[in-house]
Structure formats: C-alpha cells, structure tokens
Amino acid sequence: MSTGLTFLTPPPGLAPEVHFELEEIDGAAGLFALTAASASGGSHRLYVLDASVYLPDYHPEITDDQRRQLDLNTSEDAAVLVVANPALDGTTVNLLAPIVLNVHTGSCAQVILEGQDWPVRAPLEPVAA
C-alpha cells in the first residue's frame, strides 16, 4: 500500500519537499518508508512507525492551532507517526516531534510538542507478538 502525504511545511532537514509517499514495509505491520523525490533526481527517505502499533502508551497532546491547521475534528481523524532511527545498537524513535496525519485528507505536519517531556531518542522496545 502506498499513500500520498502533503506536509503543511517541509519537515526539518527535508526542505523544500512537502509531497511524500508513505509505503508499508512488507512483513512489518505499522512500519513505513516515507519517501520524497527531489527535483535533482535524488530522494529523501525516512522510516516511520505507527505509534498506535509500536507505542500504545504514547499520547502526545497537540495544540488547538495544530488541530485546526490539519482539520482534525475528532481523534479518529488523526494518526500519529514517529520517525525511527535504526542503528547497530538498536532503534530509537523521536517522541518529541511526531508526524500528525489527517487520515482523510493526507495532510500532515511534524509538530514539536512544547511543554511535554518526551525524548528525542527513545529506545524502541520490541513489540510483543
């Protein structure tokens, strides 16, 4: 499955890109590649996780302004993705700056959770089968 996403503003480090494809990784429920093709022919790719699958206790609070910008009227309108950083000693996830997605429109934004005590590099714990 592949879904087109449009960021309200370019994600940090990926400017000027705003149009991305979210592609499921086969055999890994809730794991996706987020890819944008740049005008120069190169590509930007991030790995993101569906927080509801991998982090069921993670419930970031976004502001009313962020909800309005993404046209989120109910919690069912939103999905939360977190950027995963794989390394030899394990994978970490950025919980301080999740990607909040309107599941109906494909609009999204990477938001900074001000005043919340989430880490930028939280170790990802294995998911129980």
Residue 33 lies in a domain: yes
Count the domains in the chain: 1
pTM: 0.90
Rg of the chain, C-alpha, whole Å: 14
- Asked whether residue 63 is assigned to any structural domain, the reply reads yes
Q: What is the pLDDT of residue 38?
A: 63
Domain residues for the domain of 103 are: 2-123
- The CATH number linked to 111 is 2.30.290.10
Tens-digit pLDDT profile for residues 29-56? 999 999 985 655 557 789 999 999 999 9
Q: What are phi and psi of 80, to 5 degrees?
A: -115, 125
In contact, 35 and 20? CB cutoff 8 Å? yes
pLDDT band, residue 97 (cuts 50/70/90): very high
The answer to the question of residue 7 being in a domain is: yes
Give the residue from 81, 77, 73, 75 showing the smallest Cα distance to 109: 81
Residue 55 lies in a domain: yes
Assigned domain for 129 exists? no
Is residue 128 in some structural domain?
no
Beta bridge partners of 39: none
The values of phi and psi at residue 5, to 5°, are: -120, 145
